[in-house]
Structure 1
Amino acid sequence: MVYWQIIHTLTYFGDSMLLIPTAAIMAILIAWKNSDSRAVWYWIVAFCAAGAIVSLSKIAFLGFGIGSARYNFTGFSGHSAMSATLWPVMLWLLSARLSGFWRGVAVGTGYLIPLLVGASRLVLHYHSHSEVITGLLLGFTLSTAFLVSQRGSQLKTFSLSQLCVALLLPLLLLSHGRIATTQQFLQRLSVEIAGIDHPWTRSDLLKLQQ
């Protein structure tokens, strides 16, 4: 019982219900605390690009059956991609007041969290290995590109009270645990776009290999 609670908690770290509001808070904090005025736009582009690429890959499959039966691929894992885009940047942002070593540990933790999210998606049988791996690669590429772009920027440190305020909404969402209905929305949208009665399923794709 405890094991499955841990798995579901880990997978929630990649849920849109948590990540989208957190990304919006991060945009405000980056605009406020970063010496590079362009950084907030870099962040918005990176996060939105992850969401757009994941959504397009899912619409391509759900509406038109575009996937790979050989690799059991029906679109990027959204949980993996979005968490890999957000958490390295989030931990980099909030660790501004730490020394170089501990900041490295914080950012490293930001890279570890998405790996655990991806593993949880496999344990729960929501995605195949190819979907999780490509999702992580997509997200890590975007977050790393953002962090590289910020090597010369200066971050103002957060006071303890500011840190608490910044983390309040994410912590409330984590405690509530409400799951986003993104997949259901994409299914309905894909059916409308493609003009079909039912969205494609993984079993439909795998039948093509037989």
Structure 2
Amino acid sequence: MSWNSLTYFGDSMLLLPTGVIIALFMAWKVTGRLTPWAWLFTFGITGLIVSISKFIFLAWGMGSATYNFTGFSGHTTMSATVWPVLLWLLTGGYRRCIHRTMVTIGFLLPVLIGISRVVLNAHSPSEVIAGLILGISASSLFLFANRHQKVQAFTLPQLAILLILPIILLSTGKKATTQNMIEKLAEQATGHPAWTRARLLAELH
């Protein structure tokens, strides 16, 4: 698998609809009535934090030239939020060893996605590390709070229904335009061109 293919597993075009699908299936498969709402809150607040960090940099240049930091890596943060929870949901009805292994894979996949962001020069190491900390904290808190909830096992047709949209999105590879949207909002808010990484790093010289 190429770095470009791997990095798409953290793209908003894939993860935003997947996050909503997770909530719908939680309402069906998880015993806790508040679990879907807790997930939507976790998912939403994490995405909001990422967006705010990007916005304040693009609008006012609030970042760190020393650490080459312009905001949380969205791919890394949201993949670390979504994948552990998705695999927890999918395997909750299986044996404990399988369940724990899949959740562990859910935590490891975002690390690889974060590495892909650095390799592709989309983010700095500091932005990826910050994204991992934020995303893993969000998913871990959600999983800890819902550790006593029972999850019903999925049948193959049910798995197909849950995964069909993510698989279609993976096959198309179409990328989200959230970064461009935030950039335009920042320019409208300030009336000036958005800040860039090059401009931030120029402060070191």
Normalised to the residue count of structure 2, the TM-score between the two structures is 0.98
Aligned to 2:138: 142
For 1:170-193, what per-residue CA distance to the aligned partner results, in whole angstroms no more than 9, with x for missing partners?
011001100001111110011111
* Whole-angstrom CA distance in 1 between matches of 2:83 and 2:20: 13
* Whole-angstrom CA distance in 2 between matches of 1:180 and 1:107: 26
Aligned to 2:33: 37
The answer on 1:101 being equivalent to 2:75 is: no
Aligned to 1:200: 195
Once the two structures are TM-superposed, the CA of residue 96 in structure 1 deviates from its matched residue by 1.9
Aligned to 1:187: 183
Aligned to 2:44: 48
Structure 1: gaps (5+ residues): none
Please, which moves more after superposition, 80-89 or 157-166? Answer: 157-166
* Whole-angstrom CA distance in 1 between matches of 2:147 and 2:50: 27
* Whole-angstrom CA distance in 1 between matches of 2:15 and 2:147: 24
Aligned to 1:130: 126
Amino acid at match of 1:192: Q
Name the SS of the counterpart of 2:14 in structure 1.
Answer: helix
* Whole-angstrom CA distance in 1 between matches of 2:134 and 2:25: 24
* Whole-angstrom CA distance in 1 between matches of 2:102 and 2:188: 43
* Whole-angstrom CA distance in 2 between matches of 1:97 and 1:125: 40
Once the two structures are TM-superposed, the CA of residue 50 in structure 1 deviates from its matched residue by 1.2
Aligned to 1:209: 204
The match for 1:154 among 133, 150, 161 is: 150
Amino acid at match of 1:204: R
Amino acid at match of 2:27: A
The match for 2:21 among 22, 25, 35 is: 25
- Regions of 4+ moved over 3 Å: none
Aligned to 1:114: 110
* Count of residue correspondences: 205
Once the two structures are TM-superposed, the CA of residue 208 in structure 1 deviates from its matched residue by 1.0
* Whole-angstrom CA distance in 2 between matches of 1:195 and 1:44: 33
Amino acid at match of 2:89: L
Structure 2: gaps (5+ residues): none
Name the SS of the counterpart of 2:151 in structure 1.
Answer: coil
* Whole-angstrom CA distance in 1 between matches of 2:100 and 2:131: 23
Amino acid at match of 1:209: L
Once the two structures are TM-superposed, the CA of residue 97 in structure 1 deviates from its matched residue by 2.6
Normalised to the residue count of structure 1, the TM-score between the two structures is 0.96
Amino acid at match of 1:11: T
Once the two structures are TM-superposed, the CA of residue 98 in structure 1 deviates from its matched residue by 1.7
Name the SS of the counterpart of 2:58 in structure 1.
Answer: helix
